[in-house]
Structure formats: structure tokens, C-alpha cells
Chains A and B, each alone.
Chain A
Amino acid sequence: MFDPTEFLKQAKQWVENRDQASLRSATSRAYYSLYNATLEYLKTNRKKELIQGIRNENGNSSRPKDLNNKLLKALDRNYLGSIVPMHKVVSDVCHNLRARQFGSQLRTNHEFRKTADYDMDETMDYDEVKMMIKDIDFLLSQLKQKKL
């Protein structure tokens, strides 16, 4: 299985190129290293809370879907992505685990990632991307220490 924290190593290399394509790619990879590592952490250590978070999100949706319990309990990636915004669910579950700041930083970095990938008018800043990578490094270390 691929270790998502490898994405962060790649981001650390790319950011030093300092050109816009590298800064955008670094931002995106750094976010996905955190998102995927957090999702894997929740699947392994907080499966019950994760499933409840998915149920809650679907229940709160303006158009809730009938859930397939088998696929839900198997945490089937394609299925989950088709019923709820998983990036939101992951940050909400962290929030509900009383890791409010962790959840908030996930959402903030998700926002930076969206800017990097979709907003071509924005200019990415080297110092900001460096700080983002530093923050994500710290959050990943919290996951390794099982602080969620």
C-alpha cells in the first residue's frame, strides 16, 4: 500500500523550484498527503466514528440517499465519494473527536488546494506554501503519535 506521506516528500522538493507550477503542485500534493493519511488513520483507528460521520453528513444533506450498509461498512472509496463530500466528512469527524484545530486546518489546507488547482488568477506564494508544508508535517506527526 502506498504511504500518502510520500506525497509530502515530493511537495518539499517541488516547493524549492519556486515556479508557479511547482508551488501549485506542491500545495496540492501536501494537502493530499494530509487528507489521505487522516482518512487512513480514521479507517484504522476510528472506524465507528467515521461511519457515523458519513451517516450524519448524508442525513443532513438536502437530498439524503438510501445507504448501502455493506459498502458503507466496507468503506468502499468509490461508493463513499458518490454519496457524501468525504473531505468535509474527514474534517468534521476530526472536529467531533475534539481535535477542532486539526479539523480546521484540514479545511483551510483543502481551500488552499482548491486555489492551487482551480484558480488560475491567483499567484501562489513561496513562503505561504512553505508554511503550509511545515504545518502539514506537524499534523502528520500528530497522527503518527495517535493524538486523534
Chain B
Amino acid sequence: MSQLLQYDLPSGSAGRSRVTSHGSGIVMSQHEFLKDFRNLLYAQYIFWGKNSTGFSDLWEELARLRNNFSHNFGTINYPHNIGESSLKLQNDFIINLPANIQPIFRELKLSNIEASQYLDTVKKFRQYLKKQHIKYSLDENYTSDVEYPDWIQLVITIRIKSNFNKVYSKVKSKIYKILDSTASDNLYQKLIIKIQSH
């Protein structure tokens, strides 16, 4: 959790507002903050649906803020609760990742949206396998290269428990179709999908 951004936006601040991050000391402009916040809301919309608790209120608040920002450059007021809400949304995505993946997710330079895409991808893999009545186990982990330790990748291992030879091609084809529809280029490039027999 120490890698999470924490917004610290004083009321009425002009120009560049300071957004601190433990360790990295990122400074984010107001515009960047709004863009990031909008993206978080959009990810929330995709992942939990429009009617999830608090979503509508946040969306309206964002619209108001963006409008305010457009017309009053540099004089925007950030209600304290928006910063808290934004942090909560980030927490939601990160907390839902498996504990072993959380620490390296930021290191892989994956965004909050990509965290939601990742969760969505795994969810769809599981849904598909369940729907097909395929007995499986799914493991999420990461790997780094022996020769190039900086080359880190996420690994999703699907172990088919029965009829591996019979279902392998069908499963592989569907898994890549799901991936094509859920993952950004950046996420896709950092994922390894292993389909193995149990």
C-alpha cells in the first residue's frame, strides 16, 4: 500500500497542486489530477457498473469540478472528500489484486485502469472455464528473468484438471479472445498466460 498516491490538494491552490506519493514524490498538476480521477471513475464504471454505491454522486462531482476547472483555471477548490474518494477508488483496485502481485503492480508501470482490466480478465477467464464445466485451478504470480532481473512479467497459470488434450486448443483460443477484449497493449505485453495440465 505504500506505493499508492495520496492526494493532498489545498483549497484554492493555483497552478501546480502538490500530489504526494510515498517514496516517489510525484508532483501532479491539477489537470493531471482531474484526468487521473476521471480515469479512475471510468474504470469504476467498467468494473462495478454505473449503479455501484456512490458512483453517481462522484460522477456528478467530477463533472462539476471539470466545469469549474475549465472556467476558472488555477482557482479550483477541491473538496477534501474528493481526494479521499479518489484514494478509496485506487485502494479498491489494488486491494482486489492478489497480495503477491500488489507490490509489483506499480513497478510494472500499470495504471489503475489496467489494474481493473487485469481483475476483469481473470474474472472472465474463470467465468468461461466455469461455464464450460472445465475443472481447473488458476494461479496468479509474477516472474523475473534470470539474466535480466528488471524484466518482470505477470503470470497467469491455468491448470486443466481433466481432458487436457481435448480442451487445450479451445481454451487457449478463448483465453486470447478474452485478453484481446479486456487488456490494453501495456497490460497485454506484461502478461504471460500458461495453460497446463494438472
Residues of A within 8 A of B (CB): 61-62, 85, 87-88, 92, 95, 100-101, 103-104, 107-108, 111-112, 114, 118, 125, 127-128, 131, 135
Cross-chain pairs A/B with CB under 8 angstroms, 12 sampled: A85-B145, A85-B148, A88-B145, A95-B188, A107-B153, A108-B193, A114-B143, A114-B146, A125-B197, A127-B165, A128-B164, A131-B168
**Residue B89 lies at the interface, judged by CB distance under 8 Å to chain A:** no
Any chain A CB within 8 A of the CB of B57?
no
Flag if B164 contacts A127 (CB, 8 Å): yes
Describe A's contact surface by its main secondary structure: helix
**B99 in contact (CB, < 8 A):** no
Are B197 and A127 touching (Cβ within 8 A)? yes
User: Number of contacting residues on B, CB 8 A?
Assistant: 25
User: Which 5 pairs, one residue from A and one from B, show the smallest C-beta to C-beta distance?
Assistant: A85-B148, A101-B176, A108-B192, A111-B192, A131-B168
B60 on the interface (CB 8 Å rule)?
Answer: no
Using CB atoms and an 8 Å cutoff, list the residues of chain B in contact with chain A: 143, 145-148, 150-151, 153, 155, 164-165, 168, 172, 176, 179-180, 185, 188-189, 191-194, 196-197
Q: Bound state CA distance, A137 and B65, in angstroms?
A: 55
Residues of A within 8 A of B188 (CB): 95, 100, 104
Chain B residues closer than 8 Å to A135, beta-carbon distance:
172
Does A88 contact B151, Cβ atoms closer than 8 Å? yes
CA distance in complex: A128, B194 (Å): 10
Write out the residue numbers on chain A whose beta carbons fall within 8 Å of the beta carbon of B146.
114, 118
A38 to chain B, nearest CB (A): 16
Contact status of A100 and B180, CB under 8 A, knowing A85-B145, A88-B151, A127-B165: yes
**Chain B residues with CB below 8 A from A118, complex form:** 146
Knowing A112-B194, A125-B197, A128-B197 are in contact, say whether A85-B165 is a contact too (CB < 8 A). Answer: no
What is the CA–CA distance of A103 and B172 in the complex, to the nearest angstrom?
15
Smallest CB separation, A20 vs chain B (Å): 16
Chain B residues positioned under 8 Å from A131 (CB to CB): 165, 168
Asked if residues B189 and A92 are in contact (CB atoms below 8 Å), the reply is yes
* Bound complex: CA A104 to CA B190 (Å): 9
Find chain B residues with CB under 8 A from A104 CB.
176, 179, 188, 191-193
User: With A104-B193, A111-B194, A128-B196 as given contacts, are A62 and B168 in contact (CB-CB < 8 Å)?
Assistant: no
Residues of A contacting B191 in the complex (Cβ-Cβ under 8 angstroms): 104
Contacts of B180 in A (CB 8 A): 100-101
- On chain B, the residues within 8 Å of A85 by CB distance are 145, 147-148, 151
- Please give the distance in Å from B169's CB to the nearest CB on chain A: 8
Task: Tell me, rounded to whole Å, the shortest Cβ–Cβ distance linking B35 to chain A.
Answer: 23
